[in-house]
Amino acid sequence: MSLLQEERKIILNNEYVESFDFAEVEDFVKNANKELFISHHYAKRTKILVQPRGGFPTYKKQFALNEFFVKANVDVLPLTIDSNTRLNDYGTAAKMLRLSEENDVDMLNGYPLVNHGYRATRKMVTHFNKPVSLRHGTPDARLLIEQAIASGIFDIEGGPVTYVLPYSKNFPLDKAFLYWKYVERLCASYSRLNEPINRESFGPLTATLVPPSITIVIQLLEMLLSLEEGVKSFSVSFAQQGSMMQDIVTGHVLKKLAQYYAEKINCADARINLVYHQWMGAFPTNQKYAEQLISLATVVASIVGADKIITKTNQEAAGIPTKEANAETVANTQYLLRILNGLPNIHDEQEEEMLILQVKAIMEAVFNDHADTLWRKVFNSIKNGTIDVPFSPHIINHNDMITIRDAQKNIRIIKRGNVPIPDKCFDYEKSQCDLSKDTTSIVNDIIHDIGIMQ
Amino acid sequence: MNNKKLLIDVGSTYFKLCANGNLEQHFRNFNKSILDDLNHKCKHTIEQFTPESIFICSSANGGLSTLIIGLTHSFSLKYATNIALNSGINIIDTILYQDIEESSIPSDLIDVVIIVGGIDSKSNVFNKPLYEYLSQVSYSNIVYVGNSQDANQVKSNINNITILPNIIDDRLHIIEEELRNYLTNLYQQDIEGKDDIKDLYQITKNQIYSTPYIVNRTLPLIDAKFSVVNPFILLDIGGATTDIHYSKDLVDSNLVTENEFDRLVFKKLGVYKSRESLVFVAKNNEFVGELLMHLNVTENIFDEYNDKATRILMQLAIFLVLCKTSHYRPNYINIKLLTVNSVVLTGGITKVLKQEEAEDIISFFYKKILNSAHRPITVMDKDYAIWTLGSGIEHDDHNQMQHEGEA
Amino acid sequence: MKVVTGVVGNDIHVVANRLIDLSLKARGYEVFNLGVNTYLEEFFDACVETGADILLISSLNGEAEGWSREIRSLKSKYKDLDNLIMMIGGNLAVGTGDPKTIVPKYEKYGFDLVCHQIDLNTGLDMLQDFVAKRDKT
């Protein structure tokens, strides 16, 4: 029995898990309908795939949500997991689930997949026969992903960096790398049976003035950590940043460098997809304005050439959206995509060149770290500030980089900390900004830059 | 890599040798010095190896003891304690500097005193009260890892003090390397009462480390020998002390260190040398009555000195360690025991207890104290082999870094 | 001047925390930011280790009520913090709350400056005024 298999048995020996039938699950994946595999859809798509967000605690409510989505012609169904499950607190999730079921009130902010179990969830997934994407934010996702794949969920989001740095203060990052390696190996292993299981990194990170170079570097590194385990279908992603040109440039560079680095480690046979998140920052409270913002994001996604778009709703500022609002956005988005024709092919050579230089410089610094495994190189790079994510609450993050928006609302780096941005690029970034203001004004600008869509 | 090495572990009750994968274990004869004892019992094994290929680690004499004088609990004392524990130090007493004038003077000889406090831009932290206190303490070594501004003054007031860089940086984060290296190198220093260990350098050319330090460094490699799943805890129940090594994601701690595992030691929980204190702790635990009933014995067992009593004590030790680190009693460390996937047992206990006996106690603990159906998998390191994974690592690392330095 | 800052209790309001950090730095303070989820004892300990002059605690979801009562007794255990300037800012009540009752309440808990739902720059101006006045006396 392989090491992975031994570990799997112990992980699945959890008291909250109904017995796990390894052979049956393998069989199920092998014979699963191709429609369930997002990788299959990515390969044959003729339009951007539309995916909303959403998750309710009870089976009944989740089922109803999915019905709405399917009626609105969604391409990919979401399954958002509750925060207790994300922290591996299946006990509290179980209690809250029971209360939700008994009182018809939502005591969880998502679907507790481990408590529902894979047998029940699979019924729902196969009933709708659409690809499902798992959305969570879990540092230790081993048990969760086992249940997800067994349920027929073949699009797994997350990664050791993107699911720890934006959310956690002190979860040990080195353990997170270990736990996500398990996930990669699991997905790679199942990918041999049918269409590939798709992995998707969480590009938005803190969604607060994150400069494209940092976003792209982290996407590329999580991609490499996944591909080196044998994953054959990977989605890199980023969120709408606020400037159309910057989004276009980011999209081009991300796609180009993803191919470039995949080839470097002899994984050119893996399929790399691009995912675009609609605005992840503070939303306007006015619902009509919110709808405009969403439409804008859809247009940008199209110009960027994304393979999949993850939508928001006009109720975003108010809290968890109703299924009606959610389905409405899907329908609106599909309509808009249908009428968006004759999209121009826009490039900004200079911006792309600068961004590529920045990304390559940071990647090289990471690869030059003395550690002997890639994951430890990344860990060390975050620890020494070579990679610095603005507004991360994690103690390991340096928080020395400062970013603001220029006149076109592009995010620019005005202080680089330990991030090895080449001088030429750093000067260029600064030259785009008005740094003649005093520092208090700059701080005020940052406050406004964060809330530009409100 | 291991086939041309002789690994020796000198414990408080026995020593173990691992030659080319073959493990042997011998009870120690306390009437002889360690070197004499080793030569007497294992001369034929030792003779087959050169000093370059013999690696020794030791937890003999109860390990090293330290007194830490620091400014605050959340930073100076916490950081120094973490580094000391992971370096294999067993006895750690701490003093908050603001209370030093009211603090009692330790009666025993201390192996190393550690002074820590203040970030580098803070000055005038340490003064007369420190020097007056220290003049009454007997210690073998003393090291300063506090703010750089006070270093000169401290140096001129304390003889033979080693000055090292601050273990607290300007962001209030921990800097472990220098102090850790100093502490793990201590066996080479002039430590009174540890003469026995220093003699061992006659048969080895390699640095002698403390066993808990080696075990701690070994843990990331554990799945080379055992079916263990993270996050896990490792209990080393010995004659003098009980060590618990735990995966860092089992605690809520704001420490960013290189270690994947941290260590805690309970000096009152050992089954031979510390038997009395173990019994004392047991009697004070409110669940012990039920536990003894579950094990089918009465409190009289504490007064017995036979094999059965030893087994009961070992099971008690397991139970008590888990109690001390659980939320049952708020403590130095609270381990998220409900997240633990594997419990590894090592040390003398694995030669005495059966797997089922250990599992039974762990099961009882989870049911009674944590009220949970959670059951981590128990793994017995039957031959106390875990330390063999680590011996030689330090030296490989050291050699590798030397090569990189040359290139 | 040295400032220790952070967000107390179970807040995850990292953006506000970072903005306070940047604003303080912009005004020339040396900042030690403990981040979110910080405990009272950590705050005081940080002041001791850094020699901070000012402690600025943010609380953003009305949770401050729960732990504020412990401040006086905890602070009294420290022998060197008598001159520490203590400031609290953010959203100090659940709901809107009335500044007329909130400010005196938190002053009684031991805070020199209390800013309930006050704009960041205004609050920091208040701090600078307070420090200037105190230096004169």
Task: Report, in angstroms and rounded to the nearest whole number, the Rg of chain C calculated over CA atoms.
Answer: 14
Residues from chain B contacting residue C46 (CB–CB below 8 Å)? 72, 74-75, 172
| 3-state SS record for chain B | CHHHCEEEEECCCEEEEEECCEEEEEECCCCCCHHHHHHHHHHHHHHCCCHHHEEEEECHHHCCEEEEEECCHHHHHHHHHHHHHHCCCCEEEEEEHHHHHHCCCCCCCEEEEEECCCCCCCCCCCCHHHHHHHCCCCEEEEEECCCHHHHHHHHHHCCCCEECCCCECCCCCECCHHHHHHHHCHHHCCCCCCHHHHHHHHCCCCCCEEHHHHHHHHHHHHHHCCCCCCCEEEEEECCCCEEEEEEHHHCCCCCCCCCCEEEEEECCCCCCCCHHHHHHHHHCCCCHHHHHHHCCCCHHHHHCCCHHHHHHHHHHHHHHHHHHHCCCCCCCCCCCHHHCCEEEEECCHHHHCCHHHHHHHHHHHHHHCCCCCCCCEEEECCCCCHHHHHCCHHHHHHHHHHHHHHC
CB distance from B227 to chain C under 8 Å?
no
Q: Which residue has the tokens 């770290």?
A: A369
Residues from chain A contacting residue B247 (CB–CB below 8 Å)? 175
CB distance from C57 to chain A under 8 Å?
no
Helix count and strand count (H, E) for chain C: 6, 5
Does residue A176 or residue C8 have the better pLDDT? A176
| Most confident of the ranges A241-245, B299-303, B320-324 | A241-245
- Among A169, A206, A450, whose Cβ lies nearest the Cβ of C37? A169
Exposed, middle or buried: residue A339 (CB in 10 Å: 0-12, 13-18, 19+)? Answer: exposed
Across the interface, do B341 and A10 touch by the CB < 8 Å criterion? yes
CA nearest to B361, candidates B303, B324, B312, B326: B312
d(CA C32, CA C51): 11
Give the model confidence (pLDDT) of A290-308 as tens digits.
Answer: 999 999 999 999 999 999 9
Give the model confidence (pLDDT) of A205-262 as tens digits.
Answer: 999 999 999 999 999 999 999 999 999 999 999 999 999 999 999 999 999 999 999 9
Q: Rounded mean pLDDT of C6-29?
A: 86
CB distance from B372 to chain A under 8 Å?
yes
Exposed, middle or buried: residue B75 (CB in 10 Å: 0-12, 13-18, 19+)? Answer: buried
pLDDT of residue B329: 62
pLDDT of residue B384: 74
- Please check whether residue A34 is in contact with residue A40, taking contact to mean a CB–CB distance below 8 angstroms: yes
CB distance from C121 to chain A under 8 Å?
yes
d(CA C33, CA A394): 12
Residues from chain B contacting residue C3 (CB–CB below 8 Å)? none
State the helix-helix crossing angle for A439-450 and C120-136, rounded to 10 degrees: 150
- Please check whether residue A131 is in contact with residue A76, taking contact to mean a CB–CB distance below 8 angstroms: yes
- Among B71, B121, B171, whose Cβ lies nearest the Cβ of C48? B71
Give the model confidence (pLDDT) of B62-89 as tens digits.
Answer: 678 999 999 999 999 999 999 999 998 8
Task: State the ipTM, two decimals.
Answer: 0.94
pLDDT of residue B193: 66
CB distance from B75 to chain C under 8 Å?
yes
Across the interface, do A443 and C22 touch by the CB < 8 Å criterion? yes
Structure confidence at residue C50 as a pLDDT band (50, 70, 90): very high
Give the model confidence (pLDDT) of B197-255 as tens digits.
Answer: 888 889 999 888 888 888 898 899 888 778 899 999 999 887 778 889 999 999 988 99
CA atoms within 13 A on the CB side of B191: 24
- Please check whether residue B207 is in contact with residue B185, taking contact to mean a CB–CB distance below 8 angstroms: yes
Give the model confidence (pLDDT) of A425-448 as tens digits.
Answer: 999 999 999 888 887 888 888 889
Q: Please say if the pLDDT value at position A40 is more than 80.
A: yes
Q: Please say if the pLDDT value at position B399 is more than 70.
A: no
d(CA C128, CA C134): 10
Which amino acid is present at A275?
V
Q: By CA distance, what is B118's nearest residue in C?
A: C49
Which amino acid is present at C58?
S
pLDDT of residue B397: 52
Pull the structure tokens for residue B211: 């066993």
CB distance from A146 to chain B under 8 Å?
no
Q: Which residue has the tokens 């103690």?
A: A395
- Assign residue A271 a region: left if phi > 0, alpha if psi is -120 to 50, beta otherwise? beta
Q: Rounded mean pLDDT of A74-81?
A: 96
How many residue pairs from chains A and B have C-beta atoms closer than 8 A? 50
Pull the structure tokens for residue B44: 């034929």
Across the interface, do B171 and C32 touch by the CB < 8 Å criterion? yes
Give the model confidence (pLDDT) of A310-328 as tens digits.
Answer: 999 988 888 888 888 988 8
- Assign residue B327 a region: left if phi > 0, alpha if psi is -120 to 50, beta otherwise? alpha
Q: By CA distance, what is A396's nearest residue in C?
A: C35
Q: How far is C27 from chain A (nearest CA, A)?
A: 7
Q: Which 3 state secondary structure label does DSSP give A370?
A: coil
pLDDT of residue B407: 32
Structure confidence at residue A406 as a pLDDT band (50, 70, 90): very high
CA nearest to A84, candidates A73, A75, A92: A92
Q: Please say if the pLDDT value at position B396 is more than 60.
A: no
Q: Please say if the pLDDT value at position A1 is more than 80.
A: no
Q: How far is A117 from chain B (nearest CA, A)?
A: 17
Across the interface, do B248 and A172 touch by the CB < 8 Å criterion? yes
CB distance from B227 to chain A under 8 Å?
yes
Residues from chain C contacting residue A446 (CB–CB below 8 Å)? 19, 22
Residues from chain A contacting residue B230 (CB–CB below 8 Å)? 175, 178-179
pLDDT of residue A191: 97
Across the interface, do A399 and C22 touch by the CB < 8 Å criterion? no
| 3-state SS record for A24-54 | HHHHHHHHCCHHHCHHHHHHHCCCCEEECCC
d(CA B182, CA B113): 12
Q: Which residue numbers of C have CB closer than 8 Å to B's CBs?
A: 30, 32, 34, 41-42, 44-46, 48-51, 78-80
Specify the DSSP class assigned to residue A211.
-
Chains touching A (at least 3 CB pairs under 8 A) are B, C
**Torsion over CA: A301, A306, A307, A312 (sign):** negative
Give the model confidence (pLDDT) of A325-379 as tens digits.
Answer: 988 899 999 999 999 999 999 999 999 999 999 999 999 999 999 999 999 999 9
Structure confidence at residue B2 as a pLDDT band (50, 70, 90): very low
Q: With 0.90 as the threshold, say if the pTM is over it.
A: yes
Across the interface, do C14 and A439 touch by the CB < 8 Å criterion? no
pLDDT of residue B273: 72
C-alpha B305: how far from chain center: 27
Specify the DSSP class assigned to residue A199.
E
Residue B346's DSSP bridge partners are B236
CA nearest to A79, candidates A136, A127, A23: A136
pLDDT of residue A223: 98
User: Interior CA angle at B378 toward B373 and B383, to 5°?
Assistant: 170
Give the model confidence (pLDDT) of C83-130 as tens digits.
Answer: 999 999 988 887 677 888 889 999 999 999 999 988 888 999 999 999
Residues of A identified as active-site: 86, 157
Which amino acid is present at A194?
N
- Among B229, B253, B404, whose Cβ lies nearest the Cβ of A11? B229
Q: What are the CB-based long-range contacts (under 8 Å, 24+) for B146-149?
A: B146/B71, B146/B76, B146/B115, B146/B116, B146/B117, B146/B118, B147/B117, B147/B118, B147/B119, B147/B120, B147/B121, B147/B122, B147/B123, B148/B120, B149/B118, B149/B120, B149/B121, B149/B122, B149/B123, B149/B124
- Assign residue B394 a region: left if phi > 0, alpha if psi is -120 to 50, beta otherwise? alpha
d(CA B407, CA B25): 42
CB distance from C94 to chain A under 8 Å?
no
Across the interface, do B118 and C34 touch by the CB < 8 Å criterion? no
Q: Which residue has the tokens 């041309």?
A: B4
| Most confident of the ranges A157-171, B87-101, B309-323 | A157-171
Q: Which residue has the tokens 């440039």?
A: A249
CA nearest to B8, candidates B56, B58, B41, B44: B56
Give the model confidence (pLDDT) of A100-147 as tens digits.
Answer: 999 989 999 999 999 999 999 999 999 999 999 999 999 999 999 999
- Please check whether residue C89 is in contact with residue C3, taking contact to mean a CB–CB distance below 8 angstroms: no
Percentage above 90 pLDDT, chain A: 90
Which amino acid is present at A270?
A
Q: Please say if the pLDDT value at position A89 is more than 90.
A: yes
Residues from chain A contacting residue C5 (CB–CB below 8 Å)? none
Q: What are the distances in angstroms from CA B366 to CA A174, B319, B323, B361?
A: 28, 10, 10, 9
- The average confidence (pLDDT) of chain B is 87
Q: Please say if the pLDDT value at position B392 is more than 70.
A: no
Q: Rounded mean pLDDT of B280-293?
A: 88
- The average confidence (pLDDT) of chain A is 95
Q: Where are the alpha helices (DSSP H) in C88-119?
A: 99-109
Q: How far is A439 from chain C (nearest CA, A)?
A: 5
Chain B segment 228-267 residues within 8 A of A by beta carbon are 229-231, 247-249, 252-254, 256, 260
Residues from chain A contacting residue B222 (CB–CB below 8 Å)? none
Residues from chain B contacting residue C30 (CB–CB below 8 Å)? 121
Q: What are the distances in angstroms from CA B73 to CA A362, B162, B262, B324?
A: 38, 23, 18, 20
Chain A segment 360-399 residues within 8 A of C by beta carbon are 390-393, 395, 399
Pull the structure tokens for residue A329: 């956005």
Q: How far is C108 from chain A (nearest CA, A)?
A: 31
Which amino acid is present at B257?
T
pLDDT of residue B61: 64
Residues from chain C contacting residue B117 (CB–CB below 8 Å)? 49
Across the interface, do A399 and C120 touch by the CB < 8 Å criterion? no
- Assign residue B300 a region: left if phi > 0, alpha if psi is -120 to 50, beta otherwise? alpha
CA nearest to B187, candidates B173, B170, B204, B175: B204
Count of other CB atoms within 10 angstroms of residue A373: 12
The distance between the two most distant Cα atoms of chain B, rounded to a whole number of Å, is: 66
- Please check whether residue B244 is in contact with residue B263, taking contact to mean a CB–CB distance below 8 angstroms: yes
Q: Which residue has the tokens 């970034």?
A: A429
- B178-210 burial: b if 16+ Cβ within 10 Å, else e: bbbebbbebbeeebeebebbeebbebbebbbbb
Q: Please say if the pLDDT value at position C56 is more than 90.
A: yes
Mutation for testing the C interface, residue in B172, B175, B255 having most C CBs under 10 Å: B172
